[in-house]
Amino acid sequence: MNYFVKEGDFNMKRKELLKKISCILVGGLISTMVLNGCSSKEIETAQTETETTISMEAEDLHEEGVTYEEAETAIIEGNKRFVSGELLNKDLSSEVRTDLSENGQHPFATILTCSDSRVAPELIFDQELGDLFVIRDAGNVTDTVETGSVEYAVEHAGTPLVIVLAHEKCGAVQATVEGGETTPGIQAIIDKIKPSFDKVKQANKDASDEEIASEVENENAKETVNELLKSTVIKNLVDSGKLKVVAAKYHLESGEVEFLN
Domains of the chain, by residue range, sit at 1-60, 66-259
3-state DSSP assignment of residue 258: strand
CATH 3.10.20.880 fits 66-259, yes or no: no
Residue 109, beta-bridge partner list: 132
191 is in an annotated binding site: no
Residue 250, beta-bridge partner list: 167, 257
167 is in an annotated binding site: yes
- The pTM of this model reads 0.79
Burial class (CB in 10 A: 0-12, 13-18, 19+), 194: middle
Half-sphere exposure (CA, 13 Å, Cβ side) for 113?
Answer: 25
Alpha carbon separation from 126 to 11, 78, 102, 245 (Å, rounded): 23, 5, 24, 20
23 is in an annotated binding site: no
pLDDT digits 0-9 by tens, 64-110:
788 999 999 999 999 999 999 999 999 999 999 999 999 999 999 99
pLDDT digits 0-9 by tens, 239-258:
999 999 999 999 999 999 99
Alpha carbon distance 117, 138 (integer Å): 10
pLDDT digits 0-9 by tens, 9-31:
333 333 443 444 344 444 444 45
116 is in an annotated binding site: yes
